[in-house]
Amino acid sequence: MPHFYLTAHCRVDELLALRKQINEAAPRKVSVNDFVVKAAAQALIDVPEANAVWGGDHIRRFDTADIAVAVSTDGGLLTPVVRGIESLSLSALSETISEMAGRAREGRLKQHELEGGSFSISNLGMYGVDEFSAILNPPQSGILAVGAATQQPVVIDGGLGVGTVMTVTLSADHRVVDGALGARWLQAFKTRIEHPLTILI
């Protein structure tokens, strides 16, 4: 498929601080990846034209944010689809991802749980990978590759400081998502990530 890549650098200091507060009070710990998946789903709702797939001779659009989350298993990579993410709380999403990932590693996923959705998330940050480009998962039209959140020099109010930056790269099917639309989706995602309270609202 004709595809292209867009990359953004996201400041995640506020997200990490909010995650710490949540995990100090909540019975269930949430991960950075939980925030990423939720923000991606919200961006699909914010930019509904990007929530679509190529159907051969037509574009099929979706009303719900159904996202495949890449899980590494002994038998290779699996991508179970979490459905209706826009209606899940962050803690419910975290529990669902954890449960599906566990069943993926145990070989207990059902075929229908690996099908559908318009988008995927592949996160290699936990392996120390700073930045990468992910392969599209047909017929989905987008996949977000997520790197590690690392401390880097950043410009703050005209001065040099230290901030925590996470690099993400969107791979998109140009038949469904052109450059301008991909940029709009990536900006919506970045806005959510850099203003993490909007993820919880």
* Catalytic positions, written as ranges: 174
Residue 184 burial by CB count (10 A; 0-12/13-18/19+): exposed, middle or buried?
middle
CB proximity list for 124: less than 8 A, separation 6 or greater: 132, 145, 146, 147, 148
What does the DSSP assignment read for 53-114? EE-SSSEEE-SS--EEE-EEETTEEE-PEEP-GGGS-HHHHHHHHHHHHHHHHTT---GGGG
CA distance 176 to 94: 29
Concatenating the DSSP letter of every residue in 15-45 gives HHHHHHHHHHH-SS---HHHHHHHHHHHHHH
| Nearest one of 29, 18, 45 to 188, comparing CA atoms | 45
Q: Which H helix or E strand runs over 115?
A: none
Quick check: bond before 196 cis, omega within 30? no
Cα–Cα distance for residue pair 18/73, rounded to 1 Å: 30
